[in-house]
Chains A and B, each alone.
Chain A
């Protein structure tokens, strides 16, 4: 069974640009959550989607947005990039209520550098 796939793995942007990151969950999983990891703040929850609906949202500005498609693939977008957005962005998938016990399966992440 293929794991969670995130693309791109590495990217470099400049301040003011926008970026879109993609996450393909494990086949059959319908929940996708996103996290930002920086050395100073650790792993911070961005948002979670289930069946194309945002279920939970972390404390990030509106520049951070996401969506989920009918095939459960998810994208997150960061607009008007700032230097502080440089981070490892991690995606995790999990099944549905009644399927497993809510454990998360993470991808390898997309490392964003903002210059």
Chain B
């Protein structure tokens, strides 16, 4: 079973920040949080990952709570091209089989 819980769908207005939540209450100390997205009929694309600290790259920011039981992926200025299914995964970086949950289907509204 997936170790994460995400809302099945979310809407966000174009140009606004999209905040996608993820619960991982059973995360262990050596497990990272990874985010991927899948645009229709394409292979999933890596977005960002983190262990304890907040992370930012050119695509998104990742905010991890202090107790590490939840995180939020932030797309700062959502565009129509960000319409996709977003997956939050926890795993030990080099071990563990990778279990995808159902993800969150993000709709960007024009």
Contact = CB atoms under 8 A, between A and B. Distances in A.
Contacts, number: 55
Interface string B59-84: 00000000000000000000000000
A43 B44 contact: yes
B101 interface: yes
Contact size range, B: 20 to 34
A79 B43 CA distance: 24
Given A58-B97, A109-B43, A103 B34 contact: yes
Contacts of A48: 97-98
- Interface SS majority for chain A: strand
B97 A56 contact: yes
B97 A108 contact: no
- Interface SS majority for chain B: loop
A88 to B, nearest CB: 8
Interface of A: 4, 33, 35, 42-45, 48, 56-58, 88, 90, 92, 97, 101-109
- 7 tightest A-B CB contacts, nearest first: A106-B43, A102-B93, A43-B100, A56-B97, A103-B46, A97-B94, A106-B44
25 contacts: A4-B43, A35-B100, A42-B100, A43-B44, A43-B87, A45-B97, A88-B41, A90-B44, A92-B43, A92-B44, A97-B94, A101-B93, A102-B34, A102-B49, A102-B92, A102-B94, A103-B34, A103-B46, A104-B46, A104-B98, A105-B46, A106-B45, A107-B43, A108-B42, A109-B43
